[in-house]
């Protein structure tokens, strides 16, 4: 796999470090130093690339730029509590569970769950998204507010299907497996689902980076595997989406835009 990188000239060292890290993940990074990366530059260079500038490490395409910026989530975290957050009730975060987030994305849900007490393993298979998560976690470890619970987040570079299969074979058990499939199943509500996915440029860029490649991204197999290793499996869905793998949940928490479906495999 190859990836382009634009970087401002003063960040040459950061580029070299990123190039070495991606080489370890079998990605060849081709870099080009640029005097100034701004909105006009991004519009004139619409192809997908990594960017290193004063904002740190980002993914850019079509004039947009995004990063899984955990520091931007601080205000939400400060408002959050075990009572106010539906995800906290669904995952029983008050019991400080061991939790696997098998569909990492930008890690915002995992960040919230770790803040509220869970020990979270964040599993991501795409090397570009993984290094973005590594970068944002390293930045968070320098933040006075976020650093206090970063030790509860472990990043794991793996395909979630393979990783959960390995845990099944090892007989390992966890309290919770959390699933938020990137591409909700196509159903009669396809247009509503698509509209939600287009709300944020972050999601637009993620969809470009992670093109849909069959059933794996729909999470059906993940649900099957998760049911074998977890006391509870929580699936985040758009409010009107069909059930994952056509499995009726044992319990639901309903919000305005999304819901949490719960499965209790161990009864």
Helix 201-209 / helix 190-197 crossing angle, nearest 10 deg: 100
Q: How much is the pLDDT for 199?
A: 44
Binding residues: 124-125, 180
For the domain covering 70-263, report its CATH number.
Answer: 3.40.50.150
Residue 216's pLDDT is: 42
Mean pLDDT of 84-104: 96
- pLDDT greater than 60 at residue 35: yes
Dist CA 64 CA 39 (whole Å): 8
Q: Is the pLDDT of residue 252 over 80?
A: yes
Confidence of residue 205 (pLDDT cuts 50, 70, 90): confident
Domains 2-66 and 70-263 share a fold: no
* pLDDT attached to residue 210: 77
Per-residue confidence (pLDDT) for residue 148, from 0 to 100: 96
Domain boundaries, the chain: 2-66, 70-263
Q: What are phi and psi of 127, to 5 degrees?
A: -60, -35
Mean pLDDT value of segment 84-103: 96
pLDDT tier, 191 (very low <50, low <70, confident <90, very high otherwise): very low
Q: What is the pLDDT of residue 198?
A: 39
Contact 191, 108 (CB under 8 A): no
DSSP 265: T
CB 106 within 8 A of CB 202: yes
| pLDDT bracket for residue 187 (50, 70, 90) | very low
Give binding residues for S-adenosyl-L-methionine as ranges: 124-125, 180
119: closest CA among 94, 96, 88, 95? 96
pLDDT the model gives residue 195: 42
CATH dotted code for 2-66: 3.40.120
Tens of pLDDT, residues 114-147: 999 999 999 999 999 999 999 999 999 999 999 9
The contacts of residue 195 (CB under 8 Å, 6+ apart) are none
In the DSSP assignment, the letter for residue 186 is P
Nearest to 148 by CA among 115, 108, 194, 186: 115
């Amino acid at each position: 796999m190859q990836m382009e990188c634009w970087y401002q000239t003063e960040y040459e060292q950061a580029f070299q470090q990123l190039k070495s890290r991606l080489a370890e993940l079998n990605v060849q990074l081709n870099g080009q130093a640029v005097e100034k990366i701004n909105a006009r530059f991004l519009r004139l260079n619409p192809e997908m690339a990594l960017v290193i500038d004063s904002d740190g490490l980002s993914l850019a395409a079509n004039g947009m730029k995004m990063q899984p910026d955990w520091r931007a989530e601080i205000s939400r975290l400060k408002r959050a509590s075990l009572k106010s957050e539906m995800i906290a009730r669904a995952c029983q975060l008050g019991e400080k569970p061991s939790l696997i987030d098998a569909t990492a994305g930008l890690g915002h849900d995992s960040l919230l769950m770790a803040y509220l007490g869970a020990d979270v393993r964040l599993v991501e298979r795409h090397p570009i998204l993984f290094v973005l998560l590594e970068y944002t976690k390293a930045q968070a470890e320098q933040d006075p507010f976020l650093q206090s619970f970063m030790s509860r987040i472990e990043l794991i570079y793996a395909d979630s299907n393979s990783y959960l299969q390995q845990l099944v074979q090892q007989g390992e058990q966890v309290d919770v497996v959390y699933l938020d499939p990137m591409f909700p199943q196509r159903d009669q509500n396809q247009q509503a689902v698509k509209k939600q996915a287009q709300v944020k440029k972050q999601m637009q860029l993620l969809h470009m980076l992670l093109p849909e490649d069959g059933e794996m991204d729909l999470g059906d197999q993940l649900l099957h595997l998760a049911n074998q290793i977890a006391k509870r499996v929580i699936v985040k869905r758009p409010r009107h989406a069909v059930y994952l793998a056509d499995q009726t949940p044992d319990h639901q928490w309903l919000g305005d835009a999304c819901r949490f479906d719960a499965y209790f495999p161990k009864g």
